[in-house]
């Protein structure tokens, strides 16, 4: 799995490490462009500090800070997320172009957040990043009383994911964040990182946010190094290298350093995969369904449907040519401009191709190291069936967002066919294709 970099963009006067540098919209927009040029896939825009002791910000002020920045970056094709614990800000940010909601409280601070996240997922294909905390950050660690921090954080995140799904968030659009530094001592944070596999076993992508945090300062102090926040970037990049391939993403201030760390880690992992013996070849079963849904929603050989994994693992230094292809997934839905389309519904046929590094999965014959194509098909079908819209362009964008929510997916190419479109002239097909990110 290729780990992506999420660049931190604080448009606040009081964030713990870079507060005040990007309070002007022009400076923040320029910084967002710079983060992408350095290797960020996502720019995480925040307008309220969550450091211990920070002063709460009125929602109106938070939105005044973040919305112009998100709107401008999104207009340039830069993927953004909104770092907020407020549902109204999340709603406004998604409307402005944000494609992820990053809530460090996991939807516990604002009861309306789950409904906003569900609507953002269904209408815009927006991810919901669920963070773990026990409340507004407490510098005295009075709430850091875990008997088993890994098990308790894992269970709490699983519960929040279930709540999000129950509210209507697509499972494929959920990302989990263990909330390093939020009511956790440095020792507990390192324990979570050392047992990151316990979190990824839940089946969701995991975001790691250790950048410049106190846990790193404490580790450096243990060897006699006094480091202010910005001087912790080298150590942050080491964390990035250590979680590469396990974490879906890392949220960092120093994007360039983490991008370099990931490049080295991926080259190291690729070299290791090449030296391991190939897994034993197993005979294929006599018959196989066109789509393995992996659940009770099995599909019985729908027309034009097939799934293939491209066998290009030896090309590209980082597995960039590997892909999983799902074609001809037929879904009945009610999208369309005309009233009769909304009322009667019609067929939509979906083709989806996702770029993902498949070497680790192949070398270890490990399902958890690839994209489960049955779950992908299931998630795409659910996304297409939900909430009628006018345009198949919107449907394609929604499906691409779902595909990009799967761990390890770097790019998604989605085509939505509308073979029964109300066109007077004779035609074979009409389709829209989008390529994301």
By annotation, the residues acting in catalysis are: 213, 251
Which residue from 216, 259, 218 is spatially nearest to 240, judged by alpha carbons? Answer: 259
Burial class (CB in 10 A: 0-12, 13-18, 19+), 376: buried
Query: CA-to-CA distance for 435 and 354, rounded, in angstroms?
Result: 10
**69 close to 9: Cβ distance less than 8 angstroms:** yes
CB atoms within 10 A of CB 331: 20
* Helices marked H in 39-112: 59-75, 87-96
Which residue from 90, 93, 89, 79 is spatially nearest to 33, judged by alpha carbons? Answer: 79
Query: CA-to-CA distance for 241 and 265, rounded, in angstroms?
Result: 6
How far CA 384 is from CA of 165, 417, 426, in Å, comes to: 16, 12, 26
- Residue located via tokens 């197993």: 282
Which phi and psi (to 5°) does residue 423 adopt? Answer: -115, 130
Terminal-residue alpha carbon distance, the chain: 16
Query: CA-to-CA distance for 385 and 402, rounded, in angstroms?
Result: 13
- Residue located via tokens 């172009």: 97
Cα within 13 Å of Cα(44), Cβ side: 25
């Amino acid at each position: 799995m290729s780990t992506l970099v999420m660049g931190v963009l604080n448009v606040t006067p009081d964030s713990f490490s870079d507060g005040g540098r990007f309070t002007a919209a022009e400076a923040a927009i320029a910084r967002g462009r710079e983060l992408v040029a350095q290797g960020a896939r996502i720019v995480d825009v925040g307008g309220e500090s969550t450091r211990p002791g920070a002063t709460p910000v009125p929602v109106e002020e938070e939105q005044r800070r973040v919305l112009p920045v998100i709107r401008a970056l999104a207009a340039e094709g830069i993927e953004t997320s909104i770092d907020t614990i407020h549902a109204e800000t999340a709603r406004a940010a998604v409307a402005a172009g944000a494609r992820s909601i990053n809530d460090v409280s996991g939807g516990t601070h604002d009861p309306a957040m789950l409904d906003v996240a569900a609507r953002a997922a269904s209408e815009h294909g927006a991810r919901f990043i669920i963070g773990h905390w026990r409340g507004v950050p407490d510098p005295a660690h009075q709430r850091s009383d875990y008997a088993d921090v890994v098990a308790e954080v894992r269970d709490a995140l699983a519960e929040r994911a279930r709540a999000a799904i129950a509210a209507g968030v697509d499972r494929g659009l959920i990302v989990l964040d263990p909330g390093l530094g939020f009511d956790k001592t440095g020792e507990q944070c390192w324990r979570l990182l050392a047992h990151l596999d316990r979190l990824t076993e839940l089946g969701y992508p995991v975001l790691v946010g250790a950048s410049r945090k106190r846990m790193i300062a404490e580790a450096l102090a243990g060897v006699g190094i006094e480091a202010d926040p910005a001087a912790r970037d080298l150590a942050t990049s080491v964390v990035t290298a250590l979680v590469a391939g396990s974490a879906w993403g890392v949220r960092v201030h120093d994007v360039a350093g983490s991008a370099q760390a990931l490049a080295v880690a991926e080259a190291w992992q690729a070299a290791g995969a090449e030296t391991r013996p190939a897994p034993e070849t197993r005979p294929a079963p006599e018959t196989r369904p066109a789509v393995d849904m992996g659940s009770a929603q099995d599909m019985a050989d729908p027309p034009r449907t097939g799934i293939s994994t491209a066998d290009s693992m030896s090309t590209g230094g980082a597995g960039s040519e590997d892909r999983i292809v799902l074609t001809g997934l037929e879904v009945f839905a009610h999208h369309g401009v005309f009233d009769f389309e909304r009322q009667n519904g019609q067929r939509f046929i979906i083709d989806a191709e996702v770029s993902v590094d498949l070497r680790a999965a192949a070398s270890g014959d490990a399902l958890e190291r690839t994209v489960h194509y049955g779950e992908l098909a299931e998630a795409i079908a659910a996304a297409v069936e939900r909430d009628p819209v006018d345009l198949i362009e919107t449907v394609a964008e929604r499906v691409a967002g779902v595909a990009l929510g799967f761990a390890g997916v770097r790019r998604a190419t989605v085509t939505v066919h509308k073979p029964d479109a109300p066109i007077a002239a004779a035609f074979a097909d009409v389709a829209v294709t989008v390529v994301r990110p």
